[in-house]
Amino acid sequence: MKICMIGTGYVGLVTGACFAEAGHQVVCADKDQAKVDLLKAGGMPIYEPGLEELVQANTQRGRLRFTASTAEGVESSDIVFIGVPTPALPDGSVDLSFIEHVAREIAAAMTSYKIVVDKSTVPVRTGDKVAETIKRYCKGRVEFDVVSNPEFLREGFAVEDFMKPDRVVIGVRSPRPVEAMRQVYAPFHAPMLVTDINSAELIKHAANSFLALKISYINALSVICEASGANVLEVANGMGLDARIGRQFLNAGLGFGGSCFPKDLSAFIKIAEQIGYDFRLLKEVQRINADQMDRFIKKIADTLWVLKDKTLGVLGLAFKQNTDDVRMSPAIGLCQRLLKEGARLRVHDPVAMEKARTVLTGVTYVADMNEVAEGCDALVVATEWPQFAQLDLPRARAALTHPILFDGRNLFDPAEMEKLGFIYKSVGR
């Protein structure tokens, strides 16, 4: 199939590269000329495991190319995917201006039947608006179909998630685009749910909010575990063995962050409000998430008493493992709060330091994780990078002025840490 992908962010670039890998002819359009130039020159605007190789291989095969002209991308394709940002507005609702702008650009460039597929996360009923907009701005009577195809990929595992999806959701208003969408996804061998557009749009917000709810649930349990002498890891393992519950997204810690969960939760609460439903359950999910960070900072402050002029080593800046993304990162939020309390910070992240420098200043960036502890009063683990479990603990213990480790992601074993002579404080254990 001939596909145009509009937007080369996490979703757009991964989608474009994976479609090309699957054998489709793909053009990725982005209005950011500098980004297009970078991609054309073989550079990568984001870190995502496996993505660079896919982009390079498929560019060489001639199946993937980049353009700064949406019109050119639309003209040369049968199916146009929209993967542009849908950021949050100050009141929590979604800014759909990029989607609207792209819909007008597509309309202006259409000269033959197109399938316009929305991949961005959007409020329910956006598909109707996109269809209205295209109709209004289209020159002449060109036929088109609007499809909703929400993306469920996780950053850090985006290529893997895209190539082996649990499911593909297709929302349509008529049967006409279904066969083409089946062909697009045929190489991925995933179960496909074909539904109406509104339901498809809702599925995305419903799924993300449910996952956030799961995290807040285990974080609330972590408070009960701490107060009662239970171990939240054991509780999560025991719950997770029930196939109806599952073990995933039951890791207690500093709470969730990133560019999706916080934004999607606020948006879903707002969408519900506009429909006349007060989604108190999700408001509580947000509150528990914020409390979790407060509680962790209190734990640090209670142990060190005064944070002013203390030096803390922070391991992890990305919002989670396997990504360089620091947007809405709990780790960055934690650093900023500690700085505000007057602490000095030595920080390290395996891949997110470059991005972190743009949002976190006044700290010392340390290239080697094993050197972070030098001269520190305590160490803090803020992101669940698996390599932190390989930290040279005896060396860290010797380098710390006090052998205290606050583990916001439960990476270490409390008994083991005690044996090594650490004062070890984790979450819910």
List binders of ligand UDX among 115-154 (CB under 6 A): 151-154
Which residues in 104-148 belong to E strands, given as ranges?
Answer: 114-118, 144-148
- Alpha helix positions (H), 41-96: 51-60, 70-75
Closest by CA to 201, choosing from 277, 103, 126, is 126
Q: Which is nearer to ligand UDX, 143 or 294 (CB)?
A: 294
Residues in contact with ligand UDX, shown as a per-residue x/- string from 204 to 243 under the rule CB under 6 A: ----x--x---x----------------------------
Q: Tell me which residue of 326, 410, 406 sits closest to 373, measured CA to CA.
A: 406
Q: List, in sequence order, every residue forming a beta bridge with 148; answer none if it has no partner.
A: 118, 171
Between CA 399 and CA 402, with CA 315 as vertex, the angle to 5 degrees is: 30
Q: Which span sits near ligand UDX by CB under 6 A: 249-257, 372-380, 400-408, 414-422? A: 249-257
In the residue annotation, 260 being an active-site residue is answered as yes
Q: How far apart are CA 153 and CA 92, in angstroms?
A: 22
CB of 10 to ligand UDX, least distance (A): 8
Strand order in the sheet with 25-29: 64-67, 25-29, 2-6, 79-82, 114-118, 144-148, 168-172, 192-196
Tokens of 309: 């002029």
- Helical axes 330-340 vs 280-304, angle rounded to 10°: 50
Nearer to ligand UDX, 145 or 349 (CB): 349
We find the least distance from the C-beta atom of residue 262 to ligand UDX, in angstroms, to be 9
Question: Does the protein bind ligand UDX through residue 288 (CB under 6 A)?
Answer: no
Choices 71-79, 80-88, 192-200, 247-255 (CB under 6 A): range interacting with ligand UDX: 247-255
Cα–Cα distance measured from residue 144 to residue 131, given in angstroms and rounded to the nearest whole number: 9
CA dist 194 and 349 (Å) reads: 41
* Distance from C-alpha of 17 to C-alpha of 371, rounded to nearest angstrom: 37
- Which x/- pattern, by CB under 6 A, does the window 329-368 give for ligand UDX? ----------------------------------------
For ligand UDX, the closer CB: 12 or 257: 257
What does the per-residue mask of binding to ligand UDX show for 169-208, with x meaning CB under 6 A? ---------------------------------------x
* DSSP label of 175: S
Nearest to 38 by CA among 55, 16, 22: 55
Helical packing angle, 197-228 and 280-304, nearest 10° = 40
Confirm or reject binding of residue 250 to ligand UDX (CB under 6 A).
Answer: yes
Q: Which of 65, 114, 119, 320 binds ligand UDX (CB under 6 A)?
A: 320
Catalytic choice (18, 260, 335, 376): 260
- As measured in angstroms, the least distance from the Cβ of 146 to ligand UDX is 21
Q: How far is the CB of 259 from ligand UDX (least distance, A)?
A: 6
> What is d(CA 300, CA 423) in angstroms, rounded to the nearest whole number?
12
Among 7, 73, 83, 253, indicate the residue that binds ligand UDX (CB under 6 A): 253
Contacts (CB under 6 A) with ligand UDX, residues 256-275: 256-258, 260-261
Per the CB < 8 A criterion, the answer to whether 142 and 3 are in contact is: no
> Binding string to ligand UDX for residues 15 to 54, with x set by CB under 6 A, is what?
----------------------------------------
Q: What are the residues binding ligand UDX (CB under 6 A)? A: 151-155, 208, 211, 215, 249-251, 253, 256-258, 260-261, 319-320, 384
Q: Which residues are identified as catalytic?
A: 260
